[in-house]
Amino acid sequence: MKSLGIVVEYNPFHNGHAYHIQESLKATGADLVIAVMSGNFLQRGEPALVNKWARTKMALKAGVDIVFELPFPFAAQQADIFARGAIGILEAARCNFVCFGSEEGQIEPFLQVQSFMSQCQTEYNSSVKEFSKAGYSYPKASSLAFKKVAQDTELLDLSKPNNILGLQYVQAIKDSYSIQPCTIQRIMADYHSTELGTHPIASATSIRKRLFEESLSIDSVKNQVPSSTVKELLHYLNQYEAFHNWELYWPLLQYKIISSSSSELAGIYEVEEGLQNRFKGAAESAASFKEFMESVKTKRYTWTRLQRVSLNILMNRSKDQMAAESREPAYLRLLGATDKGRQYLHQQKKKFDLPLITKPSSYKEKLETDILASMIHALPLNPANQTLIRKREFQPPVFLDHEKGS
């Protein structure tokens, strides 16, 4: 079986994701889809709307055959580390292709830029440092550095978020792996679009925004998500009585910041250049996470970067811990599979380049950080639901039989 790898968050799974799967299968001629999915916290430093098990079910019911977890040390990271972890897992699972959505829509410009960058890496890195010192955020500094190095060469628009991430996938592949990259055109909704509109394809950002604006009314987004997502969202809300966003975690983060010394905060991953003092000052007076973020936001630090710093504080991840854990993926944590996916696992698992984990209770030490992330993600829920989630973390993967509809 030819296998297609995709990198996803599904926060939540929507019609645009279904389009991505369908078009990626057409583009590659693959027989099944393997997703590497972020766990309970995401690349932009946000808590997932619903936990990884609910999102795994959404994926399996909508066309994905296997879901592996992208471990926390890669999932909540800047684009290059995020991409390295995700591609490493798909390569270890012996995927033939990886297909990502992009504003560009053609793979050739990504390959050209990757080749160009490999020849100008030293000059590019120097320019990034130069623009960063001038006070630009890392994404802006990277874009300006590329324009400076490339000069009049028009290869790829690196001001677009999906193009930026796509280039990191291609660079990760060309550095170490044999998986074949491809891309499809992202249609309709912009990645950061906050307005839902009436079109059936909308951004996950706009869907989440509408849910919280409409008092968690799932009917308000049912035109933009598959019926299977509607079902899982309803089930999650009925069971846990909440969808997750940063405001739920603000009291926990505020306590952690206020009760930590400046030197303790300075040891947290991504806390740099006196940011700990800015955080402590803002945390003492802010009444909400939004107010806190508005107080610490500067031109140099993007909202995403500050959310990731906040998450690292909440998770108590030190610089040394994250540096050690984010070098290379160490395992394939299976979250779920369809009947076709299980056939693939049976045929290929002995050829996998990393150990396959289907019994998490036997790998508690290896999964320690992911388990911690699940526990913290559940903290705002009532005690009974926290207990349910703790138990679920050590149960078998989700197995779905499409023919039986279960």
Binding-site residues for ATP, in ranges, read 7-20, 101, 162, 186-187
- Tokens of residue 54, six digits: 């609910």
DSSP three-state, residue 187: coil
* Contact present, 88 and 328 (Cβ < 8 Å): yes
Environment class of residue 273 by beta-carbon count within 10 Å: exposed (0-12), middle (13-18) or buried (19+)?
Answer: exposed
Look-up: residue for tokens 């790829």? 156
User: How far lies 78's CA from each of 12, 170, 307, in Å?
Assistant: 21, 15, 12
* Amino acid at the residue 64: V
Residues annotated within a binding site: 7-20, 101, 162, 186-187
Distance CA 311, CA 315 (A): 6
**DSSP string for 295-364:** HH--SSS-HHHHHHHHHHHHHT-BHHHHHHHTSS---EEEEEEEHHHHHHHHHHGGG-SS-EES-GGGGT
Helix (H, G, I), strand (E, B) or coil at 5: strand
SS3 230: helix
- Whether the ω angle into residue 12 lies within 30 degrees of 0, i.e. cis, is yes
What are the DSSP calls for 83-112, one per residue?
A: HHHHHHHHHHTT-SEEEEEESS--SHHHHH
Single-letter amino acid code for the residue at 138: Y
- Radius of gyration from C-alpha coordinates of the chain: 21
Q: Assess contact for 228 and 61: CB atoms under 8 A.
A: yes
What's the farthest any 2 CA atoms get from each other in the chain?
Answer: 60
- How far apart, in Å, are the Cα atoms of 173 and each of 110, 146, 322, 324, 347? 12, 20, 22, 21, 24
Cα atoms found within 13 Å of the Cα of residue 70, Cβ hemisphere only? 31
> Residue 118 contacts by C-beta under 8 Å, 6 or more apart in sequence?
174
